[in-house]
Structure 1
Amino acid sequence: MADSEHTPESNVDVLIIGAGPAGLMAACWMAHCGVSTRIIDKRGTKIFCGQADGLQCRSLEIFDSFGFADRAWKEANHMIEICMWNPGPEGVIRRSDRIPDTIVGLSRFQQITLHQGRIERFFLDNIKKYSKDTIRVERGVIPESLDIDELKVKDQSSYPVTVKLRHLTDEEATPEQQINGSKISDGLFRSNLMHEDDEDDLIRKSKSRVGTDEIVHAKYVIGCDGARSWTRRTLGFELQGEATDFIWGVLDIIPITDFPDIRMRCAIHSAENGSLMVIPRENKLVRLYIQLKEVTPDASGRADRSKITPDIILNAARKILSPYKIDYEYCDWWTAYQIGQRVGTQFDSHERVFLAGDAVHTHSPKAGQGMNVSMHDTYNLGWKVALVAKGIAKPSILSTYQTERRAIARDLINFDHRFSRLFSGRPAKDVMDAEGVSMDEFKESFLKGNLFASGLIVNYGPSNLVVKVVDEPEKGELSGSTSTSIFADTFAKKQALATGLPVGMRFNSFKVVNQSDARPWHFQEKLKSDGRFRVVLFAGNILNPPQKSRVEQFCDALGAPNSFFRTFNPTSPPLDTVIEVLTIHSAKRTETDLIRDFPEILHPFNPHTGWDYDKVFVDDASYHEGVGDAYINYGVDRERGCVVVARPDQYVGWVGDLEDFNDLQRYFEGCLVLSTHA
């Protein structure tokens, strides 16, 4: 071997393997939380064309919490309507229905499309800004081995995961392209039609050169390295599921066509030639997902990718769209894949090495879920790893990653299994056609799918981060997490205090007005992804003396020396680096005074910068944007209010009354490390 005699070694809190959207989301958390991190990727460059393109509502809410949703919103194509096309009585396709692409009223954002490369660029810029350029994607770097020292995994000061890395040449880090004579960029090297992985070959080539290896000792490793994950294989974990016989091609083109709905999202079923989905994109591009009826798997269950070209995919689209014509002069990218749904057996090893995204669940891309759910995995995981690595949160919260995200992965697989088969099936000719797909059933599935695909119906089960009642089906799934017990009738009373903020779901957003300067805000804009928990005090009618007394008693408890707020936050400004208190009251803004009517702890005083004017809000009319009706929409009593805990990822963890301070104290004692800043 040509290895150097002195292999360099280093320590890092978090090593992220894979710099796609899931890996970059994890790195973004580390940048915002100030955790030492390295992120590696075996490819030499980020994505410049193709791959994923759909961004769902929840993803945009998350981007906004990091500070770059506006960039995606401005560049993207906005998806407003879905058109369904089905065969008429004579067998010719016709528009049969229109539905909104995003269910109205669910979010302040709607679904958009923008190619993955731009999204990666937004992440990279954000990571550079918040890490002060200390976290950079190291490209052309591949892991060779991974070992976990099981004797050290319980020691929070140790670096129990040892990873040997190899550095590649530019040529080795560039995936093979231009197969089948095509000069257009293709994504087949990432497709599930690929039979082999190239890691062993790349490692062998790297070993032939001196000085290409290094050893990294990490507290935590996050494997975001795709459907053929090296990390997953190295851990000995598997994906379980099945592939279908359905082969689909993908074309990103600027279309020349007389099809009238080419700038709408369309689901098109032809009578005999298969199905097609139209996804309008930015810069005049349109993505076509096309069922390839003439390409079938071989005896091994895999399709021969050498038989798939852009021309074959386009000809399949022409047959489906007939009698409409379609052609192109410019094709940006193309690929093909075989529909299959698989989910990982395990999401972590010793709660030190984690898998996320395609490494633990794969499915068809037509539901626009791959990139979104992958990013949501690491949005769930990133802050937990960051806070444990910093000694702020208890290691026990790490088990909630598998319990929370595995349930979502299973829901996704079940949804995609049903949806992809309905999409790929032949339309029923009449009610007696048992083999055909009912178009009414397909529409119903599409509508339900839109709700699921929005990412807004995720509902996490009970744990030490989510205080709610354990349902019987959840008990097996919760075996690894520390569940905070609560009786059903007690929980029902607490949840009734804020019916519009279900415990375990994301904190929905409605307009409120800043008490100090009258500016309206979507309240969710104040729940930034910076690693902090929020205690949201719905203070009710603060001008009513009995209610004001309740608020003052709550604030006295909050300010007591042994309260969670004093225990976990530092004693000198800023006072809210771990837990921030935000207030929404319901009295008239013009009759209320920040300093006179609200205890100091709700708007802390800093001797260098004065009062904090950005923590107290009111559910009242704004001059230009009307009333947000926050109390009504959150289901909170305008007189008595309540208290809600939002986790660092904006999910509701606890709801209680102003008098339930001891329960609130126990919540934080259950998930945070005492005396962190004492």
Structure 2
Amino acid sequence: MANSPSESHVDVLIIGAGPAGLMAATWMSRCGIKTRIVDKRSTKIFNGQADGLQCRTHEILHSFGFGHRVYAETNHMLEMCLWNPDENGVLRRSDRIPDTPPGLSRFVESVLHQGRIERYFIDSLKEHDITVERGVMPEAIHLDESVDPADRTAYPVTVTLRHLTEDQAMPAECRTHGSGVQSGLFRSNLAKDDTDDILNAAKANPRAGSTEVVHAKYLIGCDGAHSWVRRQLGFAMEGEQTDYIWGVLDIIPITDFPDIRMRCAIHSVSSGSVMVIPRENRLVRLYIQLTTTEKGGGDYDRSKITPETILKAAQKIMAPYKIDYEYCDWWTAYQIGQRVGSQFSKNERIFLAGDAVHTHSPKAGQGMNVSMQDTYNLGWKIALVAKGICKPEILKTYQSERRRVAQDLIEFDHRFSRLFSGRPAKDLMDEEGISIEDFKAAIQKGHLFTTGIGVDYGASMIVAKSGDTAAQGDGTDVSARGKTTREIVGKQHLSSVIKLGMRFPSFPVLNQADARQWHFQERLPSDGRWRIIVFAGDVKQPEQAARMQELGKALARPDSFLRRYTPEDAPIDSVIEVLTIHSSPRRSVELTDFHEIFRPFRKGLGWDYWKIYVDDEPYHQEHGQAYRRYDVDAKRGCLVLLRPDMHVSWMGELEDVEELEEFLDRFMLNA
């Protein structure tokens, strides 16, 4: 008689160990959530795949403590060159623009191949006792829909996992070919889904690996564009596929093209387009258009796509400049399509993220970034619900916020990819051609979106904006429930820069205790805590000092929300951290001028010297001018509530503590 499958319990099971899955696991590791992450492939990526890292992604990676390692290894892209045919049809450089507009972030767009990025995640996870389990895939899933969503002790998701043999977990196309060049076609949308083939082969093989049953509180499906989890839920992908086919080469180029170490958009007269992405280690990535018809071109013969055919297309587009290579690190091809999942979650117990719910062209550098930002949005919500800090209702905001972002991304990518793939207009009467000025304008207008800095979450129970929550999101109602619940709206007029629903900007400030300058986002690690930022204003003015003392007393009351949300044996800042920035001259202020709640004391550790900051002149760097750049009144200040993902949740005056408490009570739980 065969042995019964083993059974286990876990808080969160993550299917898929690509960037989205690794980001989700990283949140769980920081919040102490019992987690498993599995992937059907027997090995991580070593070459190619996604490579662009946008500004917001760098901010997120730094918030987890390993972003500095990534940023140091990446190639930073500072300028973009536009190449177009002149009046005689000869390819010329038509413009230079900044790749990342100055002032958006302390980081710029950069590139590093996906395998290296995943390695940094994996190393970080190991430090927190989470290891990716490879050669493991789900073969059955069941959700007990009768379980109360508020029941944190229940395990309503049951998944049967199959452990694969080495051969089963390694797709044939993943193996290195005789040429020594690794192909990425097995992950391309031109390749058919191999999940069912692997499962069927595993079940039929008497030597196949074992199965086990995992009971989970939550499941996150990050298993790619062919998502098995999505198919089991019956969710559809909505959108369209074009006939545009693009090839990709990662090569060390031998060329006389002058801007090969710049990001370039190259439009030829009639042979298609090329995007040049300068990479690390002398590599350059070329995105090369293989077909020039958006619709009606018919099926493309996949067998005809080789590195040689892709190179020939690039040579034709870039003529009269010559380009060749002796070393190719990786290559692939894909078909442009824009699709969004019909739903991102099932009963707030099973969630989908990344390519499983949105697919688009890679040339705007959004795929990996938006995928990671999906689970950066989702991870802290699941973690805080699982820990009993937040109410389960906040999980509804994941679909509302991220599906809306995906819809906006598809709309942007639809315009951008067609502008990039279309041929230049010959003259003003050429209605079928694309305007190069329109293409440039689309790039410049899209910077806020493509960098990730402009993500703006709509009104919800955790974003105190006015208006209809369904209309500002993806159609999901994510308002605070209850007939007596009044609308609470943050006071946006207190700053034109700190915007409700958007990520909190970062400017340099000084630590009051030791005069060290910090970019303020460096003091906002992704550790699951909410944060109240107290812009204390000019605390040397008696009236402002009195306001700050009253605020301190209100926060320190035995029945204040800081006490109610915090477990009895935990530090007062373990659920909500209070950070202060004042505008008085640093030398005129002492830490003892501030109420103890702003610099809490811990037995054995003393006073916390890393809670109070000042907008003042440093010794060795430029003045951060934080109050001016945040556009906050330097005399009166304000209060700002930040979510664990650094997005602004609420804003008010120093006296608005009762309103802040009422707002927090809608989604926070008493300890």
TM-score (norm 1): 0.95
C-alpha distance in structure 2 between counterparts of 1:151 and 1:491, whole Å: 35
The aligned length equals 665
Match of 1:142 in 2: 137
Q: 1:288 to 1:119 in 2, by over 3 A?
A: same
Moved more, 342-351 or 462-471: 462-471
Checking the alignment, whether the CA contact within 8 Å between 1:467 and 1:486 is kept in structure 2 is no
Match of 1:410 in 2: 407
Match of 2:196 in 1: 199
Q: Determine which of 550, 562, 572 is the counterpart of 1:575.
A: 572
Pairwise CA distance, 1:90: 1.2
C-alpha distance in structure 2 between counterparts of 1:424 and 1:572, whole Å: 60
Gaps of 5+ in 2: none
C-alpha distance in structure 2 between counterparts of 1:239 and 1:211, whole Å: 32
Match of 1:520 in 2: 517
Q: 1:376 to 1:296 in 2, by over 3 A?
A: closer
Q: Determine which of 52, 56, 77 is the counterpart of 2:54.
A: 56
| One-letter identity of the residue aligned with 2:135 | G
C-alpha distance in structure 1 between counterparts of 2:450 and 2:273, whole Å: 20
Checking the alignment, whether the CA contact within 8 Å between 1:250 and 1:289 is kept in structure 2 is yes
Q: Are 1:305 and 2:302 counterparts? A: yes
Q: Are 1:630 and 2:621 counterparts? A: no
Q: Determine which of 248, 251, 266 is the counterpart of 2:249.
A: 251
Pairwise CA distance, 1:463: 1.0
Checking the alignment, whether the CA contact within 8 Å between 1:17 and 1:23 is kept in structure 2 is yes
C-alpha distance in structure 2 between counterparts of 1:475 and 1:520, whole Å: 38
Q: How far does the alpha carbon of each residue in 1:371-406 deviate from its partner, in whole angstroms, 9 at most, with x for none?
A: 000000000000000111111110000000000001
Pairwise CA distance, 1:304: 2.2
Percent identical: 60
Pairwise CA distance, 1:477: 3.5
C-alpha distance in structure 2 between counterparts of 1:147 and 1:366, whole Å: 38
Alignment of structure 1 residues 202-221 onto 2, 5 Å = 202-206=199-203, 208-209=206-207, 212-221=210-219
Q: Are 1:70 and 2:68 counterparts? A: yes
C-alpha distance in structure 1 between counterparts of 2:563 and 2:83, whole Å: 61
Q: Determine which of 357, 362, 386 is the counterpart of 2:359.
A: 362
Q: How far does the alpha carbon of each residue in 1:125-174 deviate from its partner, in whole angstroms, 9 at most, with x for none?
A: 11112x2x2x1100000100110001114222100000000000111111
Q: Determine which of 529, 542, 546 is the counterpart of 1:545.
A: 542
**Which SS does the other structure have where 1:411 is aligned?**
helix
Alignment of structure 1 residues 389-538 onto 2, 5 Å = 389-471=386-468, 474=471, 477=474, 479-483=476-480, 491=489, 494-538=491-535
Match of 2:172 in 1: 176
**Which SS does the other structure have where 2:494 is aligned?**
helix
**Which SS does the other structure have where 1:667 is aligned?**
helix
Q: 1:40 to 1:180 in 2, by over 3 A?
A: closer
Moved more, 199-208 or 439-448: 199-208
Pairwise CA distance, 1:302: 4.2
Moved more, 177-186 or 79-88: 177-186
| One-letter identity of the residue aligned with 2:440 | K
Q: 1:296 to 1:573 in 2, by over 3 A?
A: closer
Checking the alignment, whether the CA contact within 8 Å between 2:457 and 2:473 is kept in structure 1 is no
C-alpha distance in structure 2 between counterparts of 1:19 and 1:275, whole Å: 33
C-alpha distance in structure 1 between counterparts of 2:139 and 2:486, whole Å: 47
Q: 1:386 to 1:322 in 2, by over 3 A?
A: same
Q: CA RMSD in A?
A: 1.8
| One-letter identity of the residue aligned with 1:363 | H
C-alpha distance in structure 2 between counterparts of 1:242 and 1:588, whole Å: 58
Q: Determine which of 647, 653, 657 is the counterpart of 2:653.
A: 657
C-alpha distance in structure 2 between counterparts of 1:63 and 1:356, whole Å: 18
C-alpha distance in structure 2 between counterparts of 1:668 and 1:176, whole Å: 53
Q: Are 1:591 and 2:588 counterparts? A: yes
Q: Are 1:317 and 2:314 counterparts? A: yes
C-alpha distance in structure 2 between counterparts of 1:151 and 1:551, whole Å: 49
Alignment of structure 1 residues 119-134 onto 2, 5 Å = 119-129=117-127, 131=128, 133=129
C-alpha distance in structure 1 between counterparts of 2:525 and 2:344, whole Å: 27
**Which SS does the other structure have where 1:554 is aligned?**
helix
Q: 1:302 to 1:33 in 2, by over 3 A?
A: farther
Pairwise CA distance, 1:491: 4.1
Checking the alignment, whether the CA contact within 8 Å between 1:114 and 1:281 is kept in structure 2 is yes
| One-letter identity of the residue aligned with 2:131 | R
Q: How far does the alpha carbon of each residue in 1:651-675 deviate from its partner, in whole angstroms, 9 at most, with x for none?
A: 000001111111111122111111x
Alignment of structure 1 residues 633-652 onto 2, 5 Å = 633-652=629-648
| One-letter identity of the residue aligned with 1:507 | F
C-alpha distance in structure 1 between counterparts of 2:393 and 2:202, whole Å: 41
Q: How far does the alpha carbon of each residue in 1:534-581 deviate from its partner, in whole angstroms, 9 at most, with x for none?
A: 011111111111111111111111111211101112344522111100
Alignment of structure 1 residues 594-613 onto 2, 5 Å = 594-595=591-592, 597-613=593-609
C-alpha distance in structure 1 between counterparts of 2:164 and 2:469, whole Å: 50
| One-letter identity of the residue aligned with 1:89 | E
Match of 2:146 in 1: 151
Q: Are 1:352 and 2:357 counterparts? A: no
C-alpha distance in structure 1 between counterparts of 2:423 and 2:189, whole Å: 24
TM-score (norm 2): 0.96
C-alpha distance in structure 1 between counterparts of 2:417 and 2:597, whole Å: 53
Pairwise CA distance, 1:184: 1.4
Checking the alignment, whether the CA contact within 8 Å between 1:468 and 1:486 is kept in structure 2 is no
Match of 1:282 in 2: 280
Checking the alignment, whether the CA contact within 8 Å between 1:501 and 1:507 is kept in structure 2 is yes
Pairwise CA distance, 1:182: 5.0
